Structure 1
Amino acid sequence: MPHQAIDVVEANRHGQQLFIADLFRQKRPTPPPTPVAGPPGHFPVAHRQLALFDLDRDYTAVRPTELALPLPELAIAIEDVLTDHARRHGWGTGLQSMTRNAIRMLLATQDTPGAPIAASVAAAVTTGRSLDNLKSVLEILAAAGMLDDDRRPTLDIYAERQFADLPEPMADEVREWFRAMRDGSTTPPRSRPRNPATIRSRITHAAPAVRTWATSNGYSSLREVDRDDVIAVMPAEAYRYRQTLTALRALFRFLKARRLVFTNPTLRLRGPQAGNHPLPIDLTPVRDAMLSTKPVRAALATLIAFHALRPKDVCALLLTDLRDGRLYLDGRTILLADPVRASLSAWLAERARRWPHTINPYLFINLHTAVRTCRVDPTWISTTIGFSAQAIREDRILHEAITTGDVRRLSDLFGLTIGGAERYTHTHQPATTD
């Protein structure tokens, strides 16, 4: 019972707990996060000063240091943000100076001092002069809470340019299709947003056909298009035929589901099958890249030539994925060849020498990503090597398929599906010997 004394036998009825002295350590409290510098609380201002005349400004005719700042306290606050951001991301003095001068010019020429700065205005200041570092300027303004990002997505601009001269209601029909691909749709037919690369590809292949129907046929709506019109605009090349047919099928399937057309003229259309067989390449430029004196070029070429990594996987490699002579990638452990180890060691030494203070976690970085935390682009890999990285990968897999013809081996070595591995074994069957 509570508050009643018990004897020794009762106290030991359920056993005892042994404690050893000085083994208990009090957990230290988690330190508070380091505050990030920002603008004063009264910025950005809520009011706007309207301009009496909208004049084009020539930002190249003045030096940033000659301009007077209407709000020195705001400039000091943004300078603190810039200094903190530059320290954490390993910016050099040159990049800091260019960014500082561009921001000073933006602050000194505002119609409403203290208002958010539009990205289009920042582009006008930085483009075509020594301050050409728009991305860095936008990063600082966004971190300071002083950015008004009024830029239009490049995909929207591209789509508008492709369908600019179409008559109504044809233009509205293709715009509705584009919006459904870009944003998805919650009304039947329901769909999720498409990948921007897929959207661009479909617009690229559908736009010539739609423009032909509008100009040559004189149609004002896609309701007027029939099966013969579709066949007439199909390209002769097998690959382009298939891509165009895929895009037009997606367009008319959407319009039919939305009841914007009466029939789908692409139904039951068949075309030539485009062969997509991997082909061997000339290895001379690949060998030149592997023996290059530039560590990054040699490392990229050697890594892809030996282990046939996908370009997007190379972009996503982290520094922590490389350890103990092995590469850990998507659940696979790749034992690196000796030439690959040597080239990667040379690249890591060069990386540390050029960007000793970078916080970018990715294995491969360049001049633009070293001062940020984003990854490189697959196009940069092919440009750096001087040859298509995807072609090098396919040639390496094809060589293995010719040598062994083992589908399971190809799947394990290169992360292929069974169907993907059979694409290589069916191209070249290995020679049999008695």
Structure 2
Amino acid sequence: MGRINQWLCKACKFWRKKYAEGTCRACGMVVAVNDDQACRLCWNQFIAAGGRKNGADLLAANRFGQQLFLANLRHASAGQRLGTRRQRRTQPATEPVPTFTAVTHRQLVLFPATRDVKNGRIHGFPAPAEPAMAAFLEEFLIGHAQKHGWSHTATKGARRGLTIALGLQDTPGAPLRATDILGLQQIGTNTLRLLEVCAAAGLLEDDREPAVDKWFNTAVAELPEQMRSELSRWYAVMTNGSSTPPRSKPRSEQTIRLYLRWSLPALHAWAASGHTTLRELTTEDVRDVLPGSGNPRARMGQGLRCLFRVLKSHRVIFFNPIGRIRTGTHETRHPMPMPAAVLREAFNSEDPARAALTAIVAFHGLRSGQLRKLQLTDIHDGRLHLQDRTIPLPQPVRDRLAAWLSYREHRWPMTRNPHVFISRRTALDTSPVGVQWITTSMGMTPQEAREDRILHELHASGGDLRRLCDLFGLSIAGASRYSFVLTHPEL
């Protein structure tokens, strides 16, 4: 202890840094309390009485006061860990796994209100009202954390967040709502882990608004009401499909975003000129907003063509104003080689992830999807075993892969993720990394490096398109677009 630590021992300083201030439910003092709403002195008295594993009770252990102890002789959580180890030696080899069945009803509230979760850090959070559900989820969380290699700190934070979420339930015993869990972000809780655990345990009710729904409502918010209603009908058909004539399948979220984004400039222009519904639009109105030529005209034409075609087939509008207007097709981009200095810098980077990713793509032209799905068992005997081919790895690629795998083992020694490339987030589960992580790590898109590799092979083989198809999984049409480079005067 000393003046620089405000006359606190190291354990007390750690305790106050780790936990927020609240009211201890044993002694009633307003100090830093842990997840069980106990101050450090009352918690140590509870541990000395046997702890939770021996069935001790916090209030009963502190009923007749606390036994003081000397400073700096006991860590804030050392007694708890020691008691856990001793208990593990004496507990039976097989323990009954708790089971729990969620209730099917929901308790109605008098009026909806936003919870002030930050206020709970001062006055404390209520204990879980359904002990059976709390015991089941805690046991499941511990097993899930061990399976996915979570650290002790990550597991402890998830347990604390789970206890708070259970205490704030309006209906004890019901599946946890995703929006209630996301509200714990206000107090710094990692809600992604809680959502993952609850979903795996089958006790999550995902009531979140899909991101594409929120984006659509924001995009059309400034349009007239009748026009928004017609666009909502188009959006419903595109999202869910139609089981009645004319039947259609649901479209992907990316397709919906593209078509609406290409159509929005025309929709806003019509709204600004006084149109309130798509039913009153004519062919001249469409011609007035279409760009003159090129990709802008083709994109807007494709978006509006999809919009009017769906609305007319479902009898929302009676006339397709763009039906007889030619808008052209997208202009194709010819593949171009990358500057050698950019590839060389990424290939020799000190970042092991960047160097390994660039080496694989620059030598073998893998796609981003293949990089994401690449697993540890796919690399053995000096070869890369993909679903459709086996690739012998040259020594430069082997060296960079070995450096990345060594870094991966040192950085995340407990991870259970089977993929070769993992990130800080995916190290805690078994999902692959995202495309954005690969692009950010490489400093370029994998497609750019892949095209450079294909062009290099095209020159080396003298324009053998069949060889490109075999090596890189291209179709004849896909390989033909690279042949233009052979006759380009500047390439």
- TM class by shorter-chain length? 0.7 to 0.9
Quickly say closer, same or farther: Cα 1:129–1:398, change in 2 above 3 A.
farther
> What residue number does 1:122 align with?
181
Q: Taking structure 1 as reference, are residues 430 and 275 closer, same or farther at Cα in structure 2, changes over 3 Å only?
A: closer
The answer as to 2:463 corresponding to 1:411 is no
SS, match of residue 426 in structure 2: coil
Alpha carbons of structure 1 residues 70 and 97: separation in structure 2 relative to 1, 3 Å:
closer
| Structure 1 residue 142, shift from structure 2 partner | 2.3
- Cα distance, 1:426 vs structure 2: 1.3
- Could you tell me whether the CA contact under 8 Å between 1:407 and 1:421 is conserved in 2? yes
Q: CA distance change for structure 1 residues 304 and 108 in 2, over 3 Å: closer, same or farther?
A: same
Pick the aligned partner of 1:376 from 421, 433, 436: 433
CA distance in 2, matches of 1:45, 1:64: 31
Check 1:336–1:65 CA distance in 2 against 1; reply closer, same or farther (3 A cut).
farther
CA spacing shift, 1:418–1:154, aligned 2, 3 Å: same
Q: Is the 8 A contact 2:128 2:167 kept in 1?
A: yes
> Residue 135 and residue 218 in structure 1: after superposition, are their counterparts in 2 closer, same or farther (change >3 A)?
same
The aligned amino acid for 2:145 is: A
Check the 8 A contact 2:128/2:164 in 1, yes or no. no
Which residue of structure 2 aligns with residue 191 of structure 1?
248
Q: Is the 8 A contact 1:37 1:84 kept in 2?
A: no
- Equivalent residue runs for 1:28-427 within 5 Å: 39-41=99-101, 44-52=102-110, 54-63=112-121, 66-71=124-129, 72-126=131-185, 128-131=186-189, 133-213=190-270, 215-235=271-291, 238-267=294-323, 268-271=325-328, 274-403=331-460, 404-427=462-485
Instruction: Provide closer, same or farther for how the CA distance between residues 124 and 381 of structure 1 changes in structure 2, counting only shifts above 3 A.
Output: same
Deviation at 1:123, TM superposition (A): 0.8
AA partner of residue 178 (structure 2) = A
- How many residues are aligned here? 393
| Alpha-carbon distance in structure 1 between the residues aligned to 2:455 and 2:96 | 52
CA distance in 2, matches of 1:98, 1:211: 47
SS at match of 1:370: helix
- Secondary structure at the counterpart of residue 485 of structure 2: coil
Deviates more, 1:281-290 or 1:194-203: 281-290
Q: 1:358 to 1:263 in 2, by over 3 A?
A: same
Percent of paired sites with the same residue: 42
Q: Hey, what does 1:10 align to over in structure 2?
A: none
| TM-score normalised per structure 2 | 0.74
Task: Quote the Cα distance in structure 1 between the aligned partners of 2:371 and 2:178.
Answer: 32
Does the CA-based 8 Å contact 2:297-2:327 persist in structure 1?
no
Separation of aligned partners in 2, 1:255 and 1:38: 53
Q: Rate the CA distance shift 1:354–1:65 in 2: closer, same or farther, 3 A.
A: farther
Deviations 1:304-325 (A, max 9, x none): 1111111122112222222222
CA deviation string 1:282-332 (max 9, x = no partner): 333332222222222211111111111111221122222222222232412
- Find the aligned partners of 2:329 and 2:236 in 1 and give their Cα distance: 31
| One-letter amino acid matched to 1:83 | I
One-letter code of the match for 2:137?
I
Measure, in 2, the Cα distance between the counterparts of 1:284 and 1:390.
17
Q: 1:305 to 1:87 in 2, by over 3 A?
A: same
Distance change in 2, residues 1:237/1:107 (3 Å): farther
Query: Per-residue deviation at 1:238?
Result: 2.4
* CA positional deviation for 1:125: 0.8
Distance 1:174 1:286 in 2: 45
Unaligned runs of 5+ in 1: 1-33
Structure with higher RCO (Cα < 8 A, 6+ apart): 1
In structure 2, relative to structure 1, the CA distance for the partners of 1:189 and 1:140 (3 Å cut) is: same
- CA contact under 8 A between 2:117 and 2:187: conserved in structure 1? no
